[in-house]
Amino acid sequence: MREPQGDPTPLTWEIPAAALSATVVLLGLGLPAGQALAHLVADGVLAWPHHRVLDSVVGLARGHPGRGLPSGAGYAPTWLVYGCVTVAEVALLLALLGVGSAWRRILGTASETGMASRSEIGAVLGRRSLLRRTAVIRPDLARSTLRLWRRR
């Protein structure tokens, strides 16, 4: 006889490491996204560092906005670049918090698991159906349950 297989969900470091990696990548991409937004506001042109994203991230982190952008990108003031970077980072953080909250509610520790309540079962199956199947559902209580329902 085969033993039942365990839960295939990994309960080790893989999921937190993937979540942390995704968070770092998304927040890192928030820097050039904010810079692109600043250029869009200032010049009306979306300036994205196509093949030099890492150069752009490093340049923004070191205080050199504009590094990694195409040569015809135009100019956006430093205060506008860092203001838009802040807006982009806050928006990403709020989105990540929303995703984390939804995950916790649906799959995580706040999810409701287990048996349905008495009222939920009654709403889904109906009172008559439950009474007909009392002997199958709870054979130990079948006689006493039928007596109680007949008194009503």
pLDDT in tens, 106-146: 877 767 667 777 788 888 888 788 778 877 877 777 666 65
- Of 104 and 29, the structure prediction assigns the larger pLDDT to 29
Number of independent structural domains in the chain: 2
* Statement to judge: residues 65 and 130 lie in one domain: no
* Statement to judge: residues 43 and 73 lie in one domain: yes
**Which band of pLDDT confidence, cut at 50, 70 and 90, is reported for residue 9?**
low
At 71, the amino acid letter reads S
* Statement to judge: residues 98 and 64 lie in one domain: yes
* Statement to judge: residues 134 and 69 lie in one domain: no
Confidence at residue 5, expressed as pLDDT on a 0 to 100 scale: 61
The answer to whether residue 7 is domain-embedded is: no
As a whole number, the mean pLDDT across the chain is: 82
Burial class (CB in 10 A: 0-12, 13-18, 19+), 113: exposed
The answer to whether residue 142 is domain-embedded is: yes
* Statement to judge: residues 92 and 142 lie in one domain: no
- Of 44 and 87, the structure prediction assigns the larger pLDDT to 87
Calpha distance 33→81 (Å, rounded): 10
- Core vs surface per residue 5-17: b (16+ CB within 10 A) or e: eeeeeeeeeeeee
Contacts of 80 (CB under 8 A, 6+ apart): 38, 41, 42
Name the DSSP letter for residue 61: H
* Statement to judge: residues 137 and 65 lie in one domain: no
* Statement to judge: residues 20 and 95 lie in one domain: yes
Q: What is the mean pLDDT of residues 51-79?
A: 87
- Of 105 and 22, the structure prediction assigns the larger pLDDT to 22
Nearest to 134 by CA among 121, 123, 115: 121
**Degrees, nearest 5: CA angle 36-96-89:** 30
Could you tell me how far CA 113 lies from the centroid of its own chain?
A: 19
Q: What is the mean pLDDT of residues 37-46?
A: 89
Confidence at residue 85, expressed as pLDDT on a 0 to 100 scale: 94
* Statement to judge: residues 60 and 91 lie in one domain: yes
Q: 102-106 long-range contacts, Cβ below 8 Å, gap at least 24? A: none
Token pair 């649906």 in the structure block, residue: 106
| Residue 123 lies in domain | 118-151
